[in-house]
Structure 1
């Protein structure tokens, strides 16, 4: 099956990973045109010598690009076409696969978790094939970085689906998240922090805004995400006293891990300029939905929202006191997130402790968008000047 889906040309060895910044085009999110889904598929493209897929000569601005992010909790795919200085999403896929379930205790990916992820990746491979993707990059993050059998799983994915996953470093993960969402950072002067609460890790990045791409001043990744923290400390359930103690322990564990970064950025947080904060993750989008009292999740209402930090703290504290059943009955949380959302709340509150911004920007975009921007920018070649003779 390996020849059915486009290969990933951008695989890199560990030594080549981890660039902290780079000049890339600033593509903005754009909703798909109504007829994009109705167009019949064209004939299969021919493969380029470089490993991408193309319809004829050089790549064109109408060709499709894809970004796949296999995280500790979710498998997400985004397929888009460049559209001026924007990109138009033509297909997307997201599924909770819980790849890192039990990893904190065993150090390995379980057979059940790998099977769930593979089922989702088969769907992604079919979408890549059907959309005739010109160039794709597929990445795996903390679960595959930490697992003793992570490399074996990557090879199994390649063998069974044709998708070549690149296990990226935490630094590369942070860079892509910034690249994917920084456009939503609230305007203003002074430093800012962008963070990504994942399933198996959390990345914090101190940036200096300016130009198309902000400059990364400092960053840290800690091995605590909503899955790894829940698996290690335990679920927030039982009697009220037990729930309170479990949440306090989560806060303690995360705060200790953040301590070196907190010490390094303390001077920046004390600046006279108003500090800014932007978060990208299921945690912040879920809490933003609760803040808006949405009956169901609406990306258009959440992506780009600015929320008072005090409101997010209040929601976090309230969720931590609830039973799992009570959390599960809340719109936009449900049973799938009821167990994990409290760990996300503990991480968010710890971030607000070290970077006490008055407001929090919310982004429903991140690594996938960062990958797409990188791929598209790398393919943009200025036209050759016309001869005057």
Structure 2
């Protein structure tokens, strides 16, 4: 079944932040969000709020101009439902209510001014929606504030808000990094609950922290360019933040072309906050999340049954329905590989089973690509896919499983060494095994439903048998036999085809 876009089901979020004003339109409010339009304007609404108590007039005019465009874009795209939120600058500024009144008139919707605790909660819900079983401290660094909140699985504690957003900090410190350092140190050392992050993960949310991640990716030569799920050991992140601060003191950050001009002056303040967060919380890892307040808002609107779904499996199911020749065949492939795992007594963790099922759902999404390039193109699509609830290493595992399905297992068709290096030898061999299984299954069935359920596995001594029901006898060929023997060798068996 192919999905067709229903415009009435589309949903948009207008996010009026202290630094940027953004419109994101999603195909639907679902467990796996698919953005169809995303635009932001760096307005700097919060750049003077801490010292003057006001939204700057030029920033207000720029924001209202952007909101007029966003309203028009929602009408052009026939968005079914629009949510609008505003954060620290609008709740703290004396003229914030006047701005919101005019913004509501332009947008034609009610704008919710989020309290600090609510902003923290929505950030945590965003991480829950985009990270599989999170466990750590979520830190959302905006232009006007820093929200900190503890999350374990689906459990969220009460969050705190601090005036340490990049613009707010720059304003409070009168653009002095030394003064900013004293402010950050004083504010963060008062947050006792931050110490609960010791040895856990710190989830960094917010555009300026994502900019830091982008710089780190470029400098380290890391092969995956996806921001979401990018992780750095805390010790490395601490060294990196200190180095950026030193570069800022020499003015060298102004030449970083990968970062928007309006955001570059804020990098040093974001690095300073991250440095002291690491010092106080002492996490083991920093993980950057592109899922934050907007995604948390939509996640909070979902029914409980929808929120309980696995975000990765939901995303894979959507891609399967959109891109595969038969969505039902992928479900049969899951059951077929389930049987294979049972018969050969393959040890598999819950996480490995989850990734195997994901790979099954994505195993046919590259069929429209030219046959000579299906392997590398599908690998790129999966590694850089716009979905969450998956780590970078897991992206590589799933991507290589499907790569081997298309490219085969010969040494002449190996994936790039820099990609293979992201996996342990165990996971790399498991990806080869899964790819070999896909090569057998898709050759037998031609990716059509109704065939795989008529084949079965048996094991006797060291011989693994693939049993065909008699009605499928004409599907048996030497090529099927050779591929199955290759699969059997990967699980330490000999392989044979049997007709029942």
TM over 0.5: yes
For 2:151, the equivalent position in structure 1 comes to 207
For 1:286, the equivalent position in structure 2 comes to 211
Distance 1:85 1:165, change over 3 A: closer
Q: Which runs of 5+ in 1 are unaligned?
A: 1-32, 43-53, 55-62, 236-245, 382-389
CA–CA separation in structure 1 for the residues paired with 2:31 and 2:276: 36
Tell me the TM-score normalised to structure 2 length.
0.56
Deviation at 1:319, TM superposition (A): 2.1
Moved more, 361-370 or 139-148: 361-370
User: Secondary structure of 1:154's partner?
Assistant: helix
For 2:18, the equivalent position in structure 1 comes to 72
For 1:145, the equivalent position in structure 2 comes to 91
What are the superposed Cα offsets for residues 114-168 of structure 1, whole Å, 9 maximum, x if unpaired? 0011111112111221222222210001001111111111111122342432111
Structure 1 counterpart of 2:111, from 165, 173, 182:
165
For 2:60, the equivalent position in structure 1 comes to 114
Structure 2 counterpart of 1:225, from 129, 144, 165:
165
Asked if structure 2 preserves the Cα contact closer than 8 Å seen for 1:295 and 1:332, the reply is: no
Report the number of matched residues.
Answer: 303
For 2:139, the equivalent position in structure 1 comes to 195
CA–CA separation in structure 1 for the residues paired with 2:224 and 2:258: 11
Distance 1:334 1:322, change over 3 A: farther
For 1:364, the equivalent position in structure 2 comes to 290
Distance 1:300 1:80, change over 3 A: farther
What are the superposed Cα offsets for residues 220-250 of structure 1, whole Å, 9 maximum, x if unpaired? 1111200010011132xxxxxxxxxx43432
Distance 1:379 1:359, change over 3 A: closer
Structure 1 counterpart of 2:264, from 338, 342, 364:
338
User: Secondary structure of 2:215's partner?
Assistant: helix
Asked if structure 1 preserves the Cα contact closer than 8 Å seen for 2:204 and 2:288, the reply is: yes
Distance 1:118 1:269, change over 3 A: closer
CA–CA separation in structure 2 for the residues paired with 1:349 and 1:232: 18
Asked if structure 2 preserves the Cα contact closer than 8 Å seen for 1:66 and 1:372, the reply is: no
CA–CA separation in structure 2 for the residues paired with 1:186 and 1:170: 25
User: Secondary structure of 2:261's partner?
Assistant: helix
Distance 1:222 1:182, change over 3 A: same
CA–CA separation in structure 1 for the residues paired with 2:224 and 2:145: 23
Distance 1:168 1:183, change over 3 A: closer
What are the superposed Cα offsets for residues 340-381 of structure 1, whole Å, 9 maximum, x if unpaired? 111111111121122111210011221111122233448979
What are the superposed Cα offsets for residues 18-37 of structure 1, whole Å, 9 maximum, x if unpaired? xxxxxxxxxxxxxxx9x97x
Structure index of larger Rg: 2
Deviation at 1:300, TM superposition (A): 5.1
Distance 1:375 1:123, change over 3 A: farther
* Aligned pairs (5 A) from 1:5-84: 63-82=9-28
Structure 1 segments, 4+ long, off by >6 Å, are: 378-381
* Aligned pairs (5 A) from 1:213-292: 214-235=154-175, 246-261=176-191, 263-266=192-195, 268-269=196-197, 274-292=199-217
What are the superposed Cα offsets for residues 59-101 of structure 1, whole Å, 9 maximum, x if unpaired? xxxx111112111000112111238742221211111111112
Asked if structure 1 preserves the Cα contact closer than 8 Å seen for 2:129 and 2:299, the reply is: no
CA–CA separation in structure 1 for the residues paired with 2:227 and 2:95: 37
User: Secondary structure of 1:98's partner?
Assistant: coil
Asked if structure 1 preserves the Cα contact closer than 8 Å seen for 2:22 and 2:39, the reply is: yes
Distance 1:160 1:81, change over 3 A: closer
CA–CA separation in structure 1 for the residues paired with 2:75 and 2:305: 20
Cα RMSD between the aligned structures? 2.9
The answer to whether structure 1 residue 94 and structure 2 residue 47 are counterparts is: no
The answer to whether structure 1 residue 311 and structure 2 residue 233 are counterparts is: no
CA–CA separation in structure 1 for the residues paired with 2:294 and 2:225: 18
